[in-house]
Chain A
Amino acid sequence: MDKIIIQFLNGLTFGGLLFLISSGFTLLFGVMQVVNMAHGMFYIVGAYIGLTVQKQTGNWFLAIIVGSITVGIIAFLVEKLIRFVKSDLTQALLTLGIAVAIRDLCLIIWGGLPQIMKEPSFTQFPIKIFGFTYPGYRLFVLVLSIFIGVLMWFLLKSTQYGRIIRAGTDNRKMVSALGINIDRTYTTVFVIAGLLTGLSGAVGGTYIGFGPGTDFTILTYALVVVIMGGLGSIPGAALGAVIVGLVDSFGRTYVPQLTNFLMMGSLVIVLLFRPTGLLGRKE
């Protein structure tokens, strides 16, 4: 029973991280119909920059902030580049190309060995739950992702910016027809996605090792979460993240060789019943 609770918590906390990773991706797709194949790269750059800053300064908070901002800047530049291409396929290829280029740059700078950041001291005490101890940092990740989720919910529900994003996800052209320059919004959305994903990279890179292949793994997880939850839906990303987190956690514990199969299998089952994802809009 203890083992099950621990795995449940592992799944939940991993789900929290997955939500952080995936919400940027679903925002980009929902609002702009951009499939950002550089998403995994955003994650590892956040992690690598975080690693270096932490090594240089010993300050974990500074590390995640600098990691986040760096990816925000990269996202800004990627958005400018994307404007030059028109079709969806070319966009996906362009972002994929940028991802590969920057991943190789990371390989040159940081080498090919797996890396991991150090947990900050304030989380380095285990928490007592249900009579046993659980790593404090993982709970911190869960709390952080809930906090950011609530922040995003507030942004979408109560601000003009959020209204533009929601309406733009429904019908971009109609938003323009109301006199709103939605292109300007796109740049901001891209930067927010970059900041979020860079942050998730530094936060995730603190308890999960990362290396040059991690960007592909992260992109895969993000795609599964977002497709399962419904492209463009933030609550969908949350739901998808929790499901994938739990499936992954229990899978790795009880049938580790089937983990990927279980994850993809869950996605297939969801799509069979809800082709646009659990909370996706019906086309």
Chain B
Amino acid sequence: MNEILSVNDINSHYGSSHVLQGVTFELKDKIVAIVGRNGMGKSTLVKVIMGLVPTTSGKTILKGIDITNKKTYQIASLGVGYIPQGRELFPSLSVNEHFQLVTRHNTGKAWNIESIYNLFPNLKKQPNKGAAFLSGGEQQMVAIGRALLVNPSLLIMDEPSEGLAPIMVKSLIETCKQLMSSGISILLVEQNIHVATSLAEELHIMVSGRIVQKVDSETILHDISLRQKLLGVGA
């Protein structure tokens, strides 16, 4: 029982809409990549794990601890870094203030403000820039840096490549590989097959609120009809 994250038969509702219909998967080691079309419940799943949306039934276990009904800040404090869809930076804060917000009592740990700037040297040039004025790529760097500063063992990334230029996507993939090899596990939710298959050897396919099957990354990369069947046109 050494899983980082174990999600068991999770159900969740928005009002009477049954959004998650018994989601089950395990993150044992480096990464789980969940892919699927829009509206399949991928983001909701992530929010349920983070405690931002209530669980109707089922259990979520993080490193042996039942986090199903824990508050969001408690879950994050257990070592979960969250990078939401759209980044959700704070427009009222500068780059540096984002990091100061999280770091206050994390001296001496693996990730501190200096190590974040080492990871993303581009941010060092304008640390006082307001978050609202950053480019997509810079925003992504701040969002990742912010999440790393909780010193997580699990990083949850919801559509991290969305809105990024191709060269930034490449950068993103490199960063994720770096983080994985430093011992951080990643739960990745993506619509971009290229990103997902670059990082994970198999993909978890989500359809209508459930994980319906796992597909080998090599296979799905080369099988266009399979891609279209599971992920929609143009995937």
A interface residues, Cβ below 8 angstroms from B: 160, 163-164, 166-167, 169-171, 173-182, 281
Contact = CB atoms under 8 A, between A and B. Distances in A.
Main secondary structure of the interface of A (DSSP, over half): helix
B92 A173 contact: no
B92 A179 contact: no
B52 A173 contact: yes
A2 to B, nearest CB: 43
CB-CB nearest 7 A-B residue pairs: A179-B76, A176-B72, A166-B92, A170-B90, A179-B77, A167-B90, A176-B73
Contacts of A178: 73, 76, 82, 101-102, 146-147, 150
Given A160-B104, A163-B100, A177 B72 contact: yes
22 contacts: A160-B101, A163-B97, A163-B100, A167-B92, A169-B92, A170-B91, A170-B92, A175-B101, A176-B52, A176-B71, A176-B72, A177-B50, A177-B52, A177-B82, A177-B84, A178-B76, A178-B102, A178-B146, A178-B147, A179-B76, A179-B77, A179-B102
A154 to B, nearest CB: 15
A173 B102 CA distance: 14
Contacts of A173: 52, 72
A6 to B, nearest CB: 39
Contacts of B146: 178
A182 B73 CA distance: 8
Contacts of B218: none
A170 B130 CA distance: 13
A169 B104 CA distance: 19
B41 to A, nearest CB: 18
B216 interface: no
Interface string B131-170: 0000000000000001100100000000000000000000
Contacts of B88: 171, 174
A163 B95 CA distance: 12
A174 B72 CA distance: 9
Nearest to B71: A176
Contacts of B200: none
B93 interface: yes
A166 B93 CA distance: 7
B100 A179 contact: no
Nearest to A282: B91
Contacts of B84: 174, 177
Contacts, number: 59
A169 B90 CA distance: 9
Contact of B93 (A163, A180, A181, A281): A163
A155 to B, nearest CB: 14
Given A177-B82, A178-B146, A179-B150, A167 B101 contact: yes
A180 B73 CA distance: 6
A167 B142 CA distance: 14
B82 A166 contact: no
Contacts of A174: 84, 88, 90
A160 B52 contact: no
User: Which residue, of B72, B104, B147, has the highest number of chain A Cβ atoms within 10 A?
Assistant: B72
B112 to A, nearest CB: 15
A174 B142 CA distance: 14
Most buried by B among A174, A177, A178: A177
Given A166-B92, A174-B88, A180-B102, 17 more contacts: A163-B97, A164-B101, A167-B93, A170-B92, A171-B90, A174-B84, A176-B52, A176-B73, A177-B50, A177-B52, A177-B73, A177-B82, A177-B84, A178-B101, A178-B102, A178-B146, A179-B73
- With most chain A CB atoms within 10 A of its CB, the pick from B73, B92, B100, B147 is B92
Contacts of B90: 166-167, 170-171, 174
Contacts of B97: 163
Contacts of B72: 173, 176-177
Nearest to A184: B73
Nearest to A164: B101
A163 B84 CA distance: 20
Nearest to A233: B92
A33 B144 CA distance: 28
Contacts of A167: 90, 92-93, 101
Interface in B53-111: 71-73, 76-77, 82, 84, 88, 90-93, 97, 100-102, 104
A166 B97 CA distance: 10
A88 to B, nearest CB: 18
Nearest to B100: A163
Contacts of A176: 52, 71-73, 76
